[in-house]
Amino acid sequence: MSPVTAAVLAAAVRAGTPVLFATLGEIFAERAGVLNLGVEGMMLASALAGFAVTARTSNPWIGAAAAAAAGGCLSVIHAFLSVTLRANQVASGLALTIFATGMSAFLGRGYVGVPGSGFQSAPIPLFAQIPVLGPVLFQQDPLVYLSYAAVPVAWYVLYRTRWGLEIRAVGEQPEAADAMGVDVARVRYACVIAGGVLAGLGGTFLSTAYTSMWIENMTAGRGWIALALVIFATWDPLRAVVGAYLFGGVNALQLHIQATGTSLPTYLLLMAPYVFTIVVLVIATQETARKRLGTPAALSVPYSRTG
């Protein structure tokens, strides 16, 4: 493998990591029957929280914890509105994104242009020297390694634990789950908050690892991409990896093409990852509809024992 190819693939992994975190989180929320369109806003607010705390403490891990907490706190708002008050989940999620976008722009004015420290590349001994895979997968920063661990953990929790069984039951038939003694509200709250925490990690990756700076609207629609990749992945954490890295690959490739001095318009290259994601989503949706895979039956449907 040429050094250029290895560099592009490594960049694809880095570019796909924030989307992967957010997609995993949304899979949990939607598996429990809660649609959260506030992912973009949670990522933005968490990116600011992570950068601000890292800048003040010089410790990116404390910044990551603050970002995860910020994402979790914002998700509680959505959980309260959609689970407790049984509000329209689409309206609640959109309101959360609008609120968090405006709040991050207002509170982040003082951090624009401020140089920040953050996560640095930390090659894993021995693994980093593996031909082909080493330079691509094991010469990354710690948050990328954390995303590697999050995927099998998410899959195991969903498909191999009692808690995962309860999550899927609540997302498919909350009435039946309730009759079996499962606390539907507790499960939905926990999954929405878990989704917020993971979206927060995706946000702080952008501001403390991918760029080490804060820029208004720096997520650039990655939260919406994550929502689309949940459908592409058919609510499966393992397939989410494929979608996230495909998006990251196209993003890294367009940056590489720009660096070569191509005459193609910049805006055309910038829109390439999003167009590619839409095309893949359309194809995956057709496949999903054909095979009837995935969609939780009670997704975005409020639940109450009183009906």
Q: How far apart are CA 222 and CA 251, in angstroms?
A: 11
- At 182, give phi and psi (nearest 5°): -80, 135
Q: What is the pLDDT along the chain (307 residues), one digit of tens a residue?
A: 677 788 889 999 999 999 999 999 999 999 999 999 999 999 999 999 999 999 999 999 999 999 999 999 999 999 999 999 999 999 999 999 999 999 999 999 999 888 778 899 999 999 999 988 999 999 999 999 999 999 999 999 999 999 999 999 999 999 999 999 999 999 999 999 999 999 999 999 999 999 889 999 999 889 999 998 998 888 999 999 999 999 888 888 887 787 777 777 777 767 776 777 677 667 666 655 555 567 888 988 998 876 5
Contacts of 92 (CB under 8 A, 6+ apart): 37, 38, 78, 81, 82
pLDDT of amino acid 212 = 87
Residue 99 half-sphere exposure toward CB, CA atoms < 13 A: 14
Rg (CA), the chain: 19
Predicted local confidence at residue 136, as pLDDT: 92
What global pTM score does this model have?
Answer: 0.92
Cβ–Cβ < 8 Å for 17, 226 = no
> Dihedrals φ, ψ of 282, to 5°?
-60, -45
* Separation between Cα atoms, residue 131 and residue 5, nearest integer Å: 13
